Amino acid sequence: GRESLTLRIGGMTCAHCPPAIEKAIRAVKGVQAATVNLATQTATVEYDPTQAKVAEILRAVRSVGYAVGTAT
């Protein structure tokens, strides 16, 4: 399967932040794509919900030092 998720990221202040967060999200098993946008402070994630859970993706972002929550 393939699901899309939008996250609101907190604490990104420079252009080096997005690639660090993308790397962390992409390392979660079942994540197919991740793009982080500095300007909008959001991340879009494509993932297989049978392999990756939202909580794991949130944990990955927090583990590299950023606040994150699900966006509506």
Residues that bind ligand 9UX (CB under 6 A): 12-14, 16-17
CB-neighbour burial class of residue 30 (10 A; exposed 0-12, middle 13-18, buried 19+):
middle
Distance of CA 36 to the CA centre of its chain: 7
Nearer Cβ to ligand 9UX, position 23 or 53? 23
Nearer Cβ to ligand 9UX, position 12 or 25? 12
Nearer Cβ to ligand 9UX, position 36 or 52? 36
Cα(45)–Cα(13) distance, rounded to whole angstroms?
20
User: Minimum distance between the CB of residue 38 and ligand 9UX, rounded to whole angstroms?
Assistant: 9
